[in-house]
Amino acid sequence: MHPDKLIEAFRLMLLSRAIDETCVDLAHRGVPVPNYHGARGQEAVYAGVGVALRSEDYLLYNYRAFATLLAKGVPLEELMGDLLMNRLGTSRGHGGIMHVTKPDRGIVGRNGVFGSKFGIALGLAQEIVVNRRDAAVACMFGEAEGNRGGLYEAMNIACLRQLPILFLAENNGYAVAAPTSLLYSTRDMSGQLKSFPMPVLKIDGNDIEAVTTQATGLADRARSGAGPALLECVTVRLDPHHLHDDQSRYRDSDSLEAAWAQEPIARAHKLLRQLGLTEEWLQRERAEAKERVAEAVKSVIGGPAAALDAVFSHTYYEGREVSQ
Amino acid sequence: MTTTMRRSITAALHEVMEAHSDAIMLGEALDTRGGAAEITYGFLERYGSSRVIETPISENALTGMALGAAVAGLRVIAEIYSADFLVCAGSEVVNDIAKWRYQHQWEKPLRLVLRMPSGSAGRWSGPEHTQSIEGILNNVPGLRVVVPSNAADARRALVEVVEVGDPVIFLEHRSLYDVPTNREEGFGSAPVLPGRVVHEGDAVTIVAWGAMQRVVRGATQALADEGIFVDLIDPVTVKPMNHRLIHDSVARTSRLLVVDEGPRTGSVAGELIIRALEDAPRPPQSFRRLNFPDVHHPFDPRLEAALLPSEDLVVASVKTLIGEPR
């Protein structure tokens, strides 16, 4: 792999980490960060997928996938506006981080209830087929979402029709509090999907090089018309499910300590050192990511709240007069 | 010249598919048996497999696929095999399709039509293949519900709903598929979706859509024979309802009867009446609704017929309303 790609992915990981640190800090200072869910520990998955995608590809994202959203072209300021859920976000304070939307960059939005994303992926892929575009759909989902039946319906149709979809299973060990082993009969996410006639791969999701290589290869494959594929990225969620979750009730500190030893940014750091980048350069990148996020927050914090009028004007296409 | 709703829907689908190369159709058994109502035979061969998609029996995936294709900018007409099965994809419809524009502050049209057979044909179909789901859908902001009552309207309405820019649930009443209809019956050149006054009179305002419109038309003949003339409204679009059309009529008649095949509690009929009482400049002085009672459709069509609003009940209700002081 070209080192530039790794550097790009590393920068995205650093931005993602800085977003997490900033959101936690804001929340502790009493600034509402509605529906924020941390990405720490999973940055390699999101960054690796991000650099594998092109702007003309569709992305059905996971709400922790800050790095993927940035890679696809959501401006950092607007992403922070979505996290702070004010009018400077992509959905102007009405969808927040759960409904980031940037249609001209292939981000059409996100379903609010787990499990209906998979059908949406089929429809996006069908547009690519109808218009004969050189593009793919990246459909990210975690353990919780992967337990919904819609996944199996959609994978079946994706295989039947050879649709250009890359299913990205992010196995971070938990669906909120329930461990993967309690939710999947094969104890992982890809084991029970192997019977579908498509490539089903399982990789170390904390290895940025592996994620980038495999996601790039499978996205290229989908764009070429060879059909769907599933990539399970095994990773670990380091933080609680969200800010109000007490993970000490269902996780022991030993396993968390072990997970921290495998965390992806330190591993990427080491990899880039081996590739010849200096410690000084890497430290400068870390500082720069923090500065960029701090600047972005400064520009959107205190932004105007969502407008009540938009609730009415965006229920129907023609606006307020037809809202009953 | 006569036609049927079944044939006119086929014609409307051809019209849309020919006019728009970005229009796609999807549904279960869409090609192999022409879909649920044998309406779509030959479309796959004619328009190709990237635009005509036969899916497995997978309502979640099918409905989600329709949404995905619509947000990607295509014109989408998806068939659900039965209105009763739309609830299999309840979250897609209620949580995703209906809310997409609001939650994403979506600016572009969402050209998405879910069409499906609905209502009772009185043919031993039981309670899961007969339901009128307008009442369920009426409580979901963001959706449009359209229920044509004859072949000519169905053709025009289907072409119009594709362009409306909002998700539309298009309910094709099972009992109307093969009723011969004069091609000229219908709206002339005006758009059909806002509804219209079908039959003018000053005795009572009657609102009915789908199969109930046909029942009421039968009753209006019997009433006319007795010198009673009603103002009959076919709203065509059940949601959002064109309340003004009803309120203007009620201003003339001051009596309102709504005939609705759905169960009474939470029915569209109840909403129309309360809205007329609340909002009409001249609210009705007397009002009634005819609904299916709050029970399930029996398999036995003789029992079903005893529960459905009928011509006789409409005539009796009109006479009761007339007997009440204005």
Q: pLDDT tens-digit profile of A138-165?
A: 999 999 999 999 999 999 999 999 999 9
| Cross-chain residue pair A119–B60, CB shorter than 8 Å | yes
Better pLDDT: A7 or A2: A7
Q: pLDDT tens-digit profile of B76-102?
A: 999 999 999 999 999 999 999 999 999
How many Cα atoms sit within 13 Å of A151 on the Cβ side? 22
Per-residue pLDDT averaged across A96-112, rounded? 97
Does residue B241 sit at the A interface (CB-CB below 8 Å)? yes
Residue B326 has pLDDT above 70, yes or no: no
State the pLDDT at residue A58. 98
Written as one string, the DSSP assignment of B64-85 is HHHHHHHHTT-EEEEE-S-GGG
B14 catalytic, yes or no?
no
Q: pLDDT band at residue A324, thresholds of 50, 70 and 90?
A: low
Residue B188 has pLDDT above 80, yes or no: no
Q: pLDDT tens-digit profile of A232-263?
A: 999 999 988 888 888 888 888 888 898 899 99
Residue B286 has pLDDT above 90, yes or no: yes
Other Cβ atoms closer than 10 A to A256: 17
CA max distance for chain B: 62
Cα–Cα distances in Å, from A263 out to A36, A253, A281, B92, B110?
A: 20, 15, 20, 36, 42
**A172-186, B39-53, B139-153, B247-261, range with the lowest pLDDT:** A172-186
- A201: which 2 tokens? 């791969």
Of the candidates B53, B57, B50, which has an alpha carbon nearest to the alpha carbon of residue B40?
Answer: B53
Per-residue pLDDT averaged across B56-64, rounded? 97
**A232-246, A292-306, B258-272, range with the lowest pLDDT:** A232-246
Of the candidates A260, A241, A295, A288, which has an alpha carbon nearest to the alpha carbon of residue A10?
Answer: A288
Helix (H, G, I), strand (E, B) or coil at B126: coil
Contacts of A150 in chain B (CB under 8 A): 60-61, 64
Q: pLDDT tens-digit profile of A199-219?
A: 999 999 999 999 999 999 999
Whole-prediction pTM value? 0.96
Residue B1 has pLDDT above 80, yes or no: no
SS3 track for A162-193: CCCEEEEEEECCEECCEEHHHHCCCCCCCHHH
State the pLDDT at residue B184. 62
Residue B160 has pLDDT above 80, yes or no: yes
Minimal CA separation from B58 to chain A, in Å: 6
Give the pairing of strands B181-182 and B2-3.
Answer: antiparallel
Name the active-site residue from B129, B173, B247, B297. B129
Does residue A317 sit at the B interface (CB-CB below 8 Å)? yes
Nearest-CB residue to B64 (from A99, A101, A150): A150
A–B CB contacts, 8 A cutoff, strictly below:
163
Return the residue matching tokens 């880039």: A272
State the pLDDT at residue A245. 87
Better pLDDT: B183 or A191: A191
Does residue B293 sit at the A interface (CB-CB below 8 Å)? no
The one-letter amino acid at B48: G
User: Which residue spans within B60-211 are E strands per DSSP?
Assistant: 75-79, 112-118, 144-146, 168-173, 181-182, 196-199, 205-208
State the pLDDT at residue A177. 86
- A120: which 2 tokens? 């949406």
Cα–Cα distance measured from residue B4 to residue A321, given in angstroms and rounded to the nearest whole number: 34
Minimal CA separation from B107 to chain A, in Å: 8
Minimal CA separation from A250 to chain B, in Å: 30
| Cross-chain residue pair B104–A323, CB shorter than 8 Å | no
Which residues are B172's β-sheet partners?
B117
State the pLDDT at residue B22. 98
